[in-house]
Structure 1
Amino acid sequence: MTAAMYYPAFFVRQKFAMTTNRYEIVAAAPDGSPGAVLAVAQQKRLAFKEEVTFYTDESRSRAVFSFKARQRVDLNAGYDVRDESGQPLGFFRKDFGKSLLRSTFHLEGPGYQGVGQERSTAVALIRRFTDIPFLPIHFDFVSPQGAPLLQVERQGSVRDRYTVRVPEQAVDFRVAAAVAVGLDALMQR
């Protein structure tokens, strides 16, 4: 089954803003270069109940999908991803216990489920005990059978930039984009 909106690869770029986390989601062209802007996202910092809204463009006149925490401040926070009319697309949550060593997230959607974890234990430990902002971070989400669902790779740079690969066609682009932005926003805590 192929998702309603499927992109096999795209990029997430964090944009500088003083009071919000802002992101630009850009398609990956067949040659691997950046293509068209697919969405822009904005998250208010220090919100009690996390919510990130994705818009068609910088004018932010049309919201097209979002993710929102199910509860206020929760160590095992769960986030619902919804389309522009509020219909559910998927769900992800942080696994607090397993995240003590390496950040771990669970992912669910129509026709798939899986777990994503930081690829490198060494980088995870360095990240926890130092304040090096530009470490490369890689997450691999796999199904219970070990099939790859989603990969999120942060490049080592001053501003956060991610390459997102979606080998599983059942994973909707909007869920993959929400997870990629969520990983960035949630790992800053």
Structure 2
Amino acid sequence: MEDPFQERSIGGIVLDDDEYTVEQSYFRNKYKVYDSAGDLVLKSKQKMLKMKEEFPFYDADGNVVFRVKAKNILDVAGDYVLTEEGSDEPLLILNKNFTFFHHRWTIKRPDGTEIAEVASRSAILEALRSLIDFLSFLPHKYSITTPDGDSIGEIEGHFSLRDRYDIRIHDTGSVPKTALVVGAIAIDALEGN
């Protein structure tokens, strides 16, 4: 199967930097994504009051580039599909592995081949967050690994008035960096961090 990320872009957006900063607005799931030079590369906002969760992602000029949409209504654990704007062909599948007190996602190609896992680092802290609302303000930390368990990146939140976190991607080998960055942004949005 041809790799949809072989051109390293989605809708003309190339995400080959090693670090991105994501800022969330105060009251809604609206995101802005900046590269390491501080340039805006993506924006997103969650569609409210939809039966299926949906996040369109826009380039810096406001053009829709791709979407992440739940496969099923009111998914607690399930698949979310990333498609390029203007196409129904999936580029990525984001699979939420339902667990109590631990966030764990698998990023897959459309054929089901796993390319990465994104998992919260502390099950104890996630358990406390779910029980004590005040702790939900503590920044989240995730590890990004290959299916073999090799570290290829991390997502790390920061204390700030705005939800702000960094996505750092290391040597990914054969794993497309664009897929990891897009997957990581979508996962944080879907988790509602």
Question: Which interval holds the TM-score relative to the shorter structure?
Answer: 0.7 to 0.9
- 1:1-189 matches, within 5 Å, as 4=8, 5=14, 6-17=16-27, 20-29=28-37, 35-57=38-60, 60=62, 62-86=63-87, 87-96=89-98, 99-109=99-109, 113-132=115-134, 133-167=136-170, 168=172, 170-173=175-178, 176-187=181-192
Q: Deviations over 1:132-154 (max 9, x none)?
A: 24212111121221122442111
Aligned residue for 1:7, secondary structure, equals coil
For this pair of structures, how many residues does the alignment match? Answer: 177
CA distance 1:174–1:84, shift in 2 (3 Å) = farther
Q: Deviations over 1:152-179 (max 9, x none)?
A: 1111223211101122263343652343
Preserved contact between residue 13 and residue 160 of structure 1 (Cα < 8 Å): yes
Preserved contact between residue 155 and residue 161 of structure 1 (Cα < 8 Å): yes
Q: TM-score, with normalisation over the residues of structure 2?
A: 0.79
Q: Which amino acid aligns with 1:65?
A: F
Give the distance between the partners of 1:79 and 1:150, measured in 2 at CA.
21
Percent sequence identity over aligned pairs: 24
In angstroms, what is the RMSD of aligned CA positions?
2.5
Aligned residue for 2:187, secondary structure, equals helix
Preserved contact between residue 116 and residue 180 of structure 2 (Cα < 8 Å): no
Unaligned runs of 5+ in 1: 30-34
Q: TM-score, with normalisation over the residues of structure 1?
A: 0.80
Q: Which amino acid aligns with 1:72?
A: I
CA distance 1:39–1:159, shift in 2 (3 Å) = same
Structure 1 stretches of at least 4 aligned residues deviating more than 3 Å after TM superposition: 109-112
Preserved contact between residue 52 and residue 69 of structure 2 (Cα < 8 Å): yes
CA distance 1:25–1:174, shift in 2 (3 Å) = farther
Preserved contact between residue 149 and residue 171 of structure 1 (Cα < 8 Å): no
Preserved contact between residue 89 and residue 175 of structure 1 (Cα < 8 Å): no
Preserved contact between residue 114 and residue 147 of structure 2 (Cα < 8 Å): no
Q: Which amino acid aligns with 1:180?
A: I
Give the distance between the partners of 2:137 and 2:155, measured in 1 at CA.
15
Unaligned runs of 5+ in 2: 9-13
Q: CA shift at 1:94, angstroms? A: 1.0
Give the distance between the partners of 1:172 and 1:80, measured in 2 at CA.
18
Q: CA shift at 1:108, angstroms? A: 1.4
Q: Which amino acid aligns with 1:80?
A: V
Give the distance between the partners of 1:152 and 1:24, measured in 2 at CA.
15
Q: Which residue of 2 aligns with 1:32?
A: none
Q: CA shift at 1:2, angstroms? A: 6.3
